[in-house]
Amino acid sequence: MEETALTVRVHDVSMDFGSGTKAVDSARFDLETGRFLTVLGPSGSGKTTLLHMIAGFLKPTAGEITINGQPVDALPPHRRSIGMVFQKLALFPHMTAAENVAFPLKMRRWNPKGIPARVSDFLDLVKLGDYRDRRIHELSGGQQQRVAIARALVFEPELLLLDEPLAALDRKLREEMQLEFRRIQKELGVTTINVTHDQREALVVSDEIIVMDGGKIQQKATPVALYQQPANDFVAGFVGVSTFLDGSATEGGVEIQGTRCAGTHMTDIAAGTPVRGGIRAEQIRLGRSAQAVADCDTRLTGHVSDMIFEGERLLYVLNCPALPGVDIQVYYHDPDAFDLFEIGSEVHFGWRARDLRIFRAAR
């Protein structure tokens, strides 16, 4: 077996609960040692099922999972070397923070003499050194997260799995913990698979992202590549805010109800094929006069139908007579003027051909 620094190989793994569609359909990917992978998808996309199969809570109905070259399908969870942080943390309420962290060491029969020192090291790692003797209910939400991380990592697992542990936290704490996960993961170099429906979290923490939908892996890429080159309209829609234009393909663009829009074909698409174009809200230019969009390949006019203040920026929703039935979403950022366009006012907008990504209309 060629031992490159490969930790996890998921080989055509499927899970069929017998409900018609497969929860996970022929998932296949490799994960290199020390990398932080996020499986991103909406609820019901099969991401949690995939994670539970890797953890050993579910047995795949087809395919094979290997960890460090070893097939693990026959191993029950307690024989796998996997640390997991659960959605609801699943800490032991009848134990202190230190006892929670010591639990896997005791269960895995570490030398009892070394356990207290190792527990202290890991509580320090997650900055909980002063809280070792607290009961779980005496800790705040963020501190409980840290106990859960320490408990999952203290026994040197080959793999760390994160099952949406941050989903229940408020936004500020969640963002803080994202960076904390990232720091600890880099410090220990542990191979990590994280599951989330939060695209921001995926972009912030990951080395690589897998986007799942309907049980299928849609794309595996680095965060930047995923953002810049989405493989299909689902990925384009799930990561970031996009406006979609449904029409038929033309040479160098798409035609929507008679309006030709300049865009880039993401695959080889023949003219006349039904396609779906997606353009990100931050890639549409907006101005009061035609001059503002002079360097755009497509230039249109429309009316502001809604304006949403998001703090650091504004989201304008535009209606355009040339693109009937489409709500065009545009991010606008001007530190000096926030109330530039009133609702109902006429605006010029446009985009460059490379920013409108055109996919085959598969769905």
Partner 1 sequence: MTDVTGPEGKRRYPLRWHVMDALEGAAGVLWPRRMAPFTGWLLLAPALLLVAVLVLGMVQIAESSLHTLDRSTFLPSEDYTLENYRTVADSATYLKVIWRSLYGSFLTVVFTLILAFPYSYILVRTNSAFTRKALLVALFLPFFIGQVVRAYGWLIILGNAGLVNDALELIGVERQRLLFSFPTVVFGLVQYMLPFAVLLLAPALTAIPREVETAAGSLGANWARVLWHVVLPMARPGLIGATLVVSTLSLTDFAMPAMLGGGSQDFIANAIYDQFFRTADQGLGSALALLLVAIGSLLVGAIFAAFGAGTLAMGGRE
Tell me which residues touch partner 1 (CB under 8 A). Answer: 55-57, 76-78, 80, 82-84, 86-88, 90-94, 103-104, 107-108, 135, 137, 151-152, 155
In whole angstroms, how close is the CB of 272 to partner 1 at the nearest point? 52
Tokens (6 digits) for 187: 């410090």
Residue 268: what residue type? D
The residue among 131 and 234 lying less far from partner 1, judged by its C-beta, is: 131
Instruction: Identify the bridge partners of residue 31 per DSSP, sorted by sequence position.
Output: 8
Task: Give the residue with the Cβ less far from partner 1, 77 or 112.
Answer: 77
Closest CB to partner 1 among 94 and 172? 94
- Residue 160 or 279: which CB sits closer to partner 1? 160
Handedness of CA 217, 219, 224, 230 (dihedral sign): negative
Q: How far is CA 6 from CA 9, 12, 269, 323, in A?
A: 8, 17, 36, 49
> Hey, what are 180's tokens?
């904390």
Q: Are 55 and 84 in contact (CB under 8 A)?
A: yes
Any bridge partners for residue 131, and if so which? Answer: none
Nearest to 97 by CA among 120, 81, 76: 120
Written as six digits, the tokens of 58 are 């579910």
Q: Min. distance of Cβ 163 from partner 1 in angstroms?
A: 9
Residue 5 C-beta: closest distance to partner 1, Å: 24
In the chain, what is the straight-line distance between the N-terminal and C-terminal CA atoms, in Å? 40
Half-sphere exposure of 83 (CA within 13 A, CB side): 23
Comparison of 52 and 197: residue with beta carbon closer to partner 1: 52
Residue 29 token pair: 């990917």
Residue 11 Cβ vs partner 1, minimum distance, rounded to whole Å? 22
For residue 117, the minimal CB distance to partner 1 (Å) is 19
CA distance 15 to 49: 8
Q: How far is the CB of 80 from partner 1 (least distance, A)?
A: 8
Q: Cα-flanking dihedrals φ and ψ of residue 314, to 5°? A: -115, 145
DSSP per-residue string spanning 78-117: GGS-EEEEBTTB---TTSBHHHHHHHHHHHTT--GGGHHH
Taking 3-state DSSP, the helix, strand and coil percentages for the chain, each rounded to the nearest 5, stand at 30, 35, 35
CA distances from 61 to 11, 46, 69, 350 (A): 12, 14, 20, 49
- Looking at beta carbons only, is 75 or 292 nearer to partner 1? 75
- Supply the minimum distance, in Å, between the C-beta of residue 135 and partner 1: 7
Burial zone of 1 (CB within 10 Å; 0-12 exposed, 13-18 middle, 19+ buried): exposed
Nearer to partner 1, 102 or 262 (CB): 102
Query: Among residues 48 and 298, whose Cβ is nearest to partner 1?
Result: 48
Cα–Cα dist 201/194, whole Å: 10
Closest to partner 1 by CB, 108 or 333: 108
Minimum distance from residue 48 beta carbon to partner 1 (Å) = 12
User: What is the nearest approach in angstroms of partner 1 to the Cβ of residue 153?
Assistant: 11
